[in-house]
Amino acid sequence: MLLQRFFASALLIVCAGLAAMAWPYQAAFSYEPVGPRAFPLLMLALMGVGLIYMIFRPSPVVHSEDDPQLDRQTLTKIGLCVVLLLVFAGTFEPLGFILSSILVGIPMARLYGGRWLPSIVIISLMSVGLYLLFDKAMDVPLPLGLLDVLEN
């Protein structure tokens, strides 16, 4: 219980530091009515509320038999997910949203038991669909990267 409270306290300090760093941010342009700093501040505030609850809750978190064990296989999957998300962040600008989503989405689907053909088809359709939703319908510009030649 003490270790859980210590971890929550340390993470709350990190959240406060990140909020202090995000508070003065002002973008030169904004395509959102509330500006680009609202989302990170909202997420940090929600995380902070959850961490305060974790610090002051009366009983420790008790794991049941239904919870997945943190064995080697689970930790390996978590590590691979983190690596894939870092690859996505690194390839987002140069390859563009669609290609980087496909590049990361297919291994992610395979990691959690997806078969090859459905993974390729669904991830490809979702990548194109999400690009169209954000870029065309919601007017949130996403990079096309290597597919920039397709833009009219």
Determine the pLDDT at residue 146.
80
Secondary structure element (H or E) that encloses residue 82, with its range: helix 72-95
> How does DSSP assign 36-60, residue by residue?
TTHHHHHHHHHHHHHHHHHHH-SS-
Q: Tell me how many degrees the CA angle 78-79-84 measures, rounded to the nearest 5.
A: 95
Q: What is the pLDDT of residue 11?
A: 92
Check: pTM over 0.75? Answer yes or no. Answer: no
pLDDT digits (tens, 9 = 90+) for 45-88: 999 999 999 888 877 667 777 777 778 888 899 999 999 999 99
Predicted confidence (pLDDT) per residue in 91-147, tens digit: 988 999 999 999 999 999 999 999 999 999 999 999 999 998 988 888 777 888 887
**pLDDT of 29 over the 80 cut:** no
Contact between 144 and 122 under an 8 Å Cβ cutoff? The reply is: no
- For residue 127, the number of C-alpha atoms closer than 13 Å in the C-beta half-sphere is 23
Pair 101, 149: CB distance under 8 Å: no
Confidence at residue 4, expressed as pLDDT on a 0 to 100 scale: 82
Please report, for the chain, the start and end positions of each structural domain, with discontinuous segments joined by +.
1-62, 66-152
Maximum separation of any 2 CA atoms in the chain, in Å: 59
- The rounded distance, in Å, linking the Cα atoms of 35 and 25 is 10
